[in-house]
């Protein structure tokens, strides 16, 4: 990119794309995140040769926190009940059933309303 373009790339809503193809918020967002983190961002560019962004962030002292604490893991409810999953899309149904089974539930699967399980559930309710 040329020098004139380079001087504006971090401005909100600045874009070189045609109308309707970009918001001009991407690099402005990156700039904001880097600066709020105490970092620096540099740009090297020349027409026809490409662009390189260098981002430097401060080193963090100490160990990173675990994504899931023991307390959070133990607070996830576990079940012993039987659950009926009615879902016509096989992938969604399989994922939901897999998740519930992993949490201790007994799962009955049905593709739609005309299943033997949905008739059974209607009688039980």
Contact status, residue 14 vs residue 24, Cβ threshold 8 Å: yes
Pairing of the two strands 82-86 and 106-110: parallel
Residue 113 has pLDDT above 90, yes or no: no
Q: Which two tokens stand for residue 26?
A: 């991407």
What was the pLDDT predicted at 72? 59
* pLDDT tens digits for range 83-106: 888 888 888 889 999 999 988 899
Is residue 43 very low, low, confident or very high in pLDDT (cuts 50, 70, 90)? Answer: very high
3-state secondary structure of 70: helix
- Strand locations in the chain, DSSP E? 40-46, 50-56, 82-86, 106-110
Q: What is the DSSP-derived secondary structure letter of residue 58?
A: P
Q: Are 92 and 110 in contact (CB under 8 A)?
A: no
Structure tokens at 1: 């990119």
Residue 123 has pLDDT above 50, yes or no: no
C-beta of residue 121 within 8 angstroms of C-beta of residue 84: yes
State yes or no: pLDDT of 17 exceeds 70. yes
120 vs 31, more confident: 31
- pTM attached to this predicted model: 0.47
Spatial distance between the Cα atoms of 80 and 51, rounded to a whole number of angstroms: 57
pLDDT exceeds cutoff 60 at 28: yes
């Amino acid at each position: 990119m040329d020098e004139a373009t380079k001087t504006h790339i971090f401005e909100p809503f600045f874009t070189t794309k045609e109308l309707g193809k970009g918001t001009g918020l991407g690099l402005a967002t990156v700039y904001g995140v880097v600066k709020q983190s105490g970092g620096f961002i540099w740009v090297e560019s020349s027409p026809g040769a490409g662009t390189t962004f260098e981002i430097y962030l401060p080193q963090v002292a100490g160990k990173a926190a675990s994504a899931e604490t023991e307390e959070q893991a133990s607070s996830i409810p576990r079940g012993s009940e039987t659950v009926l999953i009615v879902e016509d899309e096989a992938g969604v149904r399989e994922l939901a059933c897999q998740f519930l089974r992993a949490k201790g539930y007994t799962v009955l699967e049905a593709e739609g309303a005309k299943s033997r399980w949905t008739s059974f559930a209607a009688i039980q309710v």
